[in-house]
Amino acid sequence: MSSPHHGEGPRPQDPPTEPTQPVPAAPEPRAAASADEQPGASHTQPMPRSPYLPFASLGGDQPQAPSPQPYPAHQQAGQHLAPAQPERPRRGPGWGGALALALVAALVAGGVGGLVGGMADDDGGGPTIVQRVGGSAERPDGSVAAIAADAVPSVVTVRVSGGGGAGTGSGWVYDDRGHIVTNHHVVDAAGDDGRVSIELTDGSRRDAKVVGKDSSYDLAVLKVDPTDLDPLDIGRSGDVAVGDEVVAVGSPLGLGSTVTAGIVSALERPVTAGEAGDESFISAVQTDAAINPGNSGGPLLNGDGDVIGVNTAIAQVPGQQQASGSIGVGFAIPSDVVVRTVDQLIATGRAQHPIIGVSLDRRWDGEGAKVLEDDAAQGGRAVVPDGPADKAGIEAGDVITELDGRRITDLDQLITRIRAKAVGDKVTLTIRRDGKERELTMTLEAAEES
């Protein structure tokens, strides 16, 4: 169809020219989005109250394209319009010719696939949907989705009620005998007469019995019916490096089967948690994977899906009375400590705590950990007679500056590093006495349990 020349009216065979659509006005400038607003959200229309957009609002009618203009949009320099000349009515290629041209263009541009793709979208404005080869549940080995698919069925929600209150935490299947690993502080509220149960991913629940628990390592072991339970594989935390990718699984805020991911942020981070006299001393794996209340007791997994830690604590912002949620600084008990402690709890119901046999001075604000002077120690003896430190030659007032060649900054770091060892391990201590340093070797012994 020929467009009318300048000064001509529409010809009788031409359809009436459609009015052009108005161009929407540009949105008014606005202030920067507040923290409550979602990034990238449109503010030209009021947002719905629900945080989820209704389905209809996601797939509304597409805006219609403007009608073709009857004149060229611009004129090139030096171009002149010829005077109107009478001419015979001409017909365009018609629908048949237009379709043939479209088919040729499709074949030339993209082959048969381009033709099929162009014809499949009748309205010309729909999305392109790509179907994943191999099924929606398959993901590459080592991906977070693949790790989660394997691990989630072996992670449980631990539910506790008793005289100390009620609450939920997390746990995971340790072996094929029905032992579940969790934190001491998760089950401690049950006391001796409370009830402990686990909830599986399918929603079913099983009663659990506390086999053993230890506040110093913040670990506990439960026993349940082992039917259809698959234990998780356990890796060596000693092989973990800062920057390794990790996945945390658990029940934060009671939301079971929750998966978060991050990296190992630091190793051997000294963490002391709990009330005075009932503290947990942990040489922890630090991670930025989101960990919240309720994640406690759940596994921290490496890129192979192996357990390399048990999530146990989150950092608290200074000045707050209580940690409210993840701030990207979470801590896990290293798996090497977990295996050693859990095996002891399963075998005897108790765990051994390695000690060096000294009383430390919490008033000391210098570098290292200072052994109390005898006149300040309980019972008048800062070094336990015939204990590991006494046998190695440590005296009251000595300052311990290194353990196995690594600097000690304060007494909490010394305690957590000692607790990360096993009874019977040999360690080398560097001490400072009268301004001089010396090295001593000692063998760790088990603390006497009261």
Q: How many CA atoms lie within 13 A of 190 on its CB side?
A: 25
Query: What is the reported pTM?
Result: 0.70
Residue 418 lies in domain:
354-446
Please give the DSSP secondary-structure letter assigned to residue 300. Answer: E
3-state class percentages of the chain: helix first, strand second, coil last, to nearest 5:
20, 25, 55
> Domain of 198: which CATH number?
2.40.10.10
Report d(CA 38, CA 55) in Å as an integer: 18
- Indicate whether 359 and 437 sit together in one domain: yes
- Indicate whether 338 and 362 sit together in one domain: no
Please give the DSSP secondary-structure letter assigned to residue 287. Answer: E
Whether 408 contacts 369, CB under 8 Å: yes
Query: Would you say residue 395 has pLDDT above 90?
Result: yes
User: Annotated catalytic sites, by residue?
Assistant: 185, 218, 296
Last residue of a domain, one of 348, 363, 395: 348
- Inside any domain, residue 100: no
- Indicate whether 327 and 366 sit together in one domain: no
- Indicate whether 329 and 249 sit together in one domain: yes
pLDDT at 137: 62
- Inside any domain, residue 186: yes
Tell me which range, 47-51, 299-303, 323-327, 379-383, is most confidently predicted by mean pLDDT: 299-303
- Inside any domain, residue 183: yes
- Indicate whether 209 and 242 sit together in one domain: no
55-89 tens-digit pLDDT: 222 333 333 433 333 333 333 333 433 444 444 44
- Tell me which of 440 and 6 has the higher pLDDT: 440
Query: Would you say residue 407 has pLDDT above 80?
Result: yes
- Indicate whether 257 and 341 sit together in one domain: yes
> Domain of 375: which CATH number?
2.30.42.10
Question: E strands, 216-349, where?
Answer: 219-223, 245-250, 258-273, 280-287, 299-301, 307-314, 330-334
- 220, 230, 177, 175: which is closest to 200 by C-alpha? 230
Whether 222 contacts 158, CB under 8 Å: yes
- Indicate whether 386 and 341 sit together in one domain: no
- Indicate whether 256 and 344 sit together in one domain: yes
Last residue of a domain, one of 301, 327, 348: 348
Number of domains in the chain: 3
- Indicate whether 300 and 324 sit together in one domain: yes
125-182 tens-digit pLDDT: 678 776 666 555 678 888 999 999 999 999 999 999 998 789 999 999 999 999 999 9
- Indicate whether 410 and 317 sit together in one domain: no
pLDDT at 278: 78
